[in-house]
A and B are shown apart, each in its own frame.
Chain A
């Protein structure tokens, strides 16, 4: 990879998207990060030691770690670094055994959340320069990197992202959700708006619901993460979907069974019947009840068997499985209406409108025209569709609303970082170790304009 790199002098740029949930790390210039691993230490119930989790990319061949009731420690809280010692340990593991780089010969491109407190920035700089001895450091914020990646991707086709050099990045990640206007690769930080809800809160919410209604899973973070990723979707019409979810037996297109791991034959939970889980797709917007009936009949013809089993509403505790119905769409629903949860915060659509309104009026039309969705939470099916449906009534009629989804929203920011790291100007933008030693953290940070 380094041979294809045009700047041999600077070939070792480690690009590190240090998320609250997942670390995405690799070398600059590549398309995909070489390692994606959870940013935490784990302690399975079988062990007394805290271990680093296996990278998410190598699950099939390595022996599956039994994560049942594993305790978790995360270095980041609400998206910000609170435990530098823990982070140092995880990074040490990452650099030495996973990436196999020598920090003293490499530069680091690190993502940091917007509005990081100065004390946290200082702690980060200390880890980077004093513990790992990186040659130089560049700190980027994720919206600008997501914008950079999208702008480069849509180059020749003449998309507006590249024409206007400006976009609105909606980063809906693990710890929180940001709506950030980006103008010529700079995030307009005075206009950024944040909702304090992300994937972690949604997982915990689902955990609470399942624990209260069927099986106690309060300790099963990873299991419920899997449930959320596989079964949750965004509703396009909540009252209608609640109505459907209430039906019994076959009519209920949303009921779905998830099988818990038994620790013997399988250590991971799974969706009992993937066909059943996909039945929600047959409900499209504007379906009248009569159309639903027709749909239902079709579905009935496809699967006539095993219907007596579904009649029973009660959860069978001996079988180690639980049913989900309305939880499947009420959990992601919280991103759109945090008020329903009791949070005094506006929903995602309103968040976007406020972020745009905080910008110069000339930017409003172009921002609405290039909304980029990034972050793991945007992977919920129908997320973009619902967002557009909520946003359209809030935006003036003569503005276009155009929402771009990334093909891999978890890696989008990293790819932007990889592009930036391979740009010819990258070296000049970095802070070197010598500069850090001479000027200190605070003055070096001024170079990054945030």
Chain B
């Protein structure tokens, strides 16, 4: 995914003006540079991790699931469904099929939420969005080591995850350090 691993320092974007810098131009992959320029990546990674907390293990063959979307419980019914579908797909182009699948596939709640456009409601109407509890009153956050779970006093300079000791740092670097979050 990331072809250029020559990059070795990431302190140039937040350096102070008095810092001595070499005049040599660094070679950085464009995608890498973009990744480093935006500070959002860590936020994105954190959000993705939170999003993953709502996942189900829905099996690997997602496409197959969409095809027998009715998930009927008895045998003959399913057989009938498959027969009917294979007959129908003969004439369909791949694009039409994909479209149909997309239409039939269950949408996530967030998609439904966007569709409902709750923002347009008048301010006094209670809605899903307004019921969210909101940010905590104190911004203090306890940090736990992502490796072992105990209180973590150090932050990974590359990805911002926490660890508590040199031992955990090594494990972190070897396993889940997201140096190139993109």
Q: Interface on A for B, CB 8 Å cutoff? A: 40-41, 43, 49-52, 69, 71-74, 77-80, 82-83, 85-86, 89, 92-93, 114-115, 117-120, 178-179, 189-190, 192-197, 200-201, 204-205, 208-209, 212-213, 218-219, 221, 238-239, 242, 245-246, 325-327, 330, 337-347, 350-351, 354
Report B-chain residues with C-beta under 8 Å of the C-beta of A49. Answer: 78
Can you offer 14 A-B residue contacts whose CB atoms are under 8 A? A78-B110, A83-B106, A85-B70, A119-B112, A190-B124, A194-B131, A201-B54, A213-B149, A326-B150, A337-B136, A339-B140, A339-B141, A340-B143, A346-B137
Do B115 and A77 have beta carbons less than 8 Å apart?
A: no
Do A120 and B112 have beta carbons less than 8 Å apart?
A: yes
Partner of A114, one of B78, B106, B131: B131
- Asked if B3 is at the interface (CB within 8 A of a chain A CB), the reply is no
In the complex, A338 Cα to B69 Cα: how many Å?
A: 36
Known: A86-B106, A242-B151, A345-B133. A50 touches B54 (CB 8 A): no
Segment at the A interface, from B5-13, B26-34, B55-63, B89-97: B55-63
Partner of A239, one of B50, B143, B149, B151: B151
Do A77 and B131 have beta carbons less than 8 Å apart?
A: no
Report B-chain residues with C-beta under 8 Å of the C-beta of A351. Answer: 133
Report B-chain residues with C-beta under 8 Å of the C-beta of A50. Answer: 71, 73
Q: How far is the CB of A394 from chain B (nearest CB, A)?
A: 9
Q: How far is the CB of B111 from chain A (nearest CB, A)?
A: 8
Do A43 and B59 have beta carbons less than 8 Å apart?
A: yes
In the complex, A344 Cα to B53 Cα: how many Å?
A: 15
Residue of A nearest to B129 (CB): A115
> How many residues of chain B have a CB within 8 Å of chain A?
54
Q: Interface on B for A, CB 8 Å cutoff? A: 46, 49-50, 52-60, 65, 69-73, 78, 106-110, 112-113, 115-116, 118, 124, 126-128, 131-137, 139-144, 146-151, 175-176
Do A193 and B149 have beta carbons less than 8 Å apart?
A: no
Partner of A337, one of B54, B131, B139, B142: B142
Do B50 and A342 have beta carbons less than 8 Å apart?
A: yes
Report A-chain residues with C-beta under 8 Å of the C-beta of B53. Answer: 197, 200-201, 204-205
19 additional A-B residue pairs with CB within 8 Å, beyond A194-B131, A204-B55, A212-B176: A69-B57, A71-B59, A71-B60, A73-B58, A77-B54, A92-B73, A115-B127, A118-B116, A189-B126, A193-B131, A195-B133, A212-B147, A218-B57, A221-B57, A242-B151, A245-B150, A330-B144, A339-B141, A343-B50
Partner of B54, one of A69, A83, A200, A342: A200
Do A117 and B128 have beta carbons less than 8 Å apart?
A: yes
Q: Which 7 A-B pairs have the closest CB atoms?
A: A71-B59, A83-B106, A115-B128, A201-B53, A346-B136, A326-B149, A77-B109
Report B-chain residues with C-beta under 8 Å of the C-beta of A93. Answer: 73
In the complex, A68 Cα to B137 Cα: how many Å?
A: 42
Q: Is the interface of B mostly helix, strand, loop or mixed?
A: loop
Partner of B136, one of A205, A219, A339: A339
Q: How far is the CB of A40 from chain B (nearest CB, A)?
A: 8
Q: How far is the CB of A268 from chain B (nearest CB, A)?
A: 18
In the complex, A337 Cα to B139 Cα: how many Å?
A: 11
Residue of A nearest to B105 (CB): A83
Report B-chain residues with C-beta under 8 Å of the C-beta of A345. Answer: 132-136
Do B71 and A117 have beta carbons less than 8 Å apart?
A: no
In the complex, A50 Cα to B54 Cα: how many Å?
A: 21
Do A330 and B149 have beta carbons less than 8 Å apart?
A: yes
Report B-chain residues with C-beta under 8 Å of the C-beta of A205. Answer: 53
Do A73 and B71 have beta carbons less than 8 Å apart?
A: yes
Report A-chain residues with C-beta under 8 Å of the C-beta of B135. Answer: 344-346
Report A-chain residues with C-beta under 8 Å of the C-beta of B71. Answer: 41, 50, 73, 85-86, 89
Do A204 and B112 have beta carbons less than 8 Å apart?
A: no
Residue of B nearest to A76 (CB): B109
Q: How far is the CB of A241 from chain B (nearest CB, A)?
A: 11
Do B49 and A119 have beta carbons less than 8 Å apart?
A: no
Report A-chain residues with C-beta under 8 Å of the C-beta of B54. Answer: 77-78, 200-201, 204
Residue of A nearest to B108 (CB): A77
Report B-chain residues with C-beta under 8 Å of the C-beta of A201. Answer: 53-54
Known: A73-B58, A340-B144. A119 touches B131 (CB 8 A): no
In the complex, A450 Cα to B55 Cα: how many Å?
A: 29
Report B-chain residues with C-beta under 8 Å of the C-beta of A52. Answer: 73
Report A-chain residues with C-beta under 8 Å of the C-beta of B113. Answer: 117
Known: A115-B126, A343-B50. A82 touches B106 (CB 8 A): yes
Report B-chain residues with C-beta under 8 Å of the C-beta of A86. Answer: 71, 106
In the complex, A354 Cα to B134 Cα: how many Å?
A: 9
Report A-chain residues with C-beta under 8 Å of the C-beta of B143. Answer: 340
Do A341 and B50 have beta carbons less than 8 Å apart?
A: yes
Report A-chain residues with C-beta under 8 Å of the C-beta of B78. Answer: 49
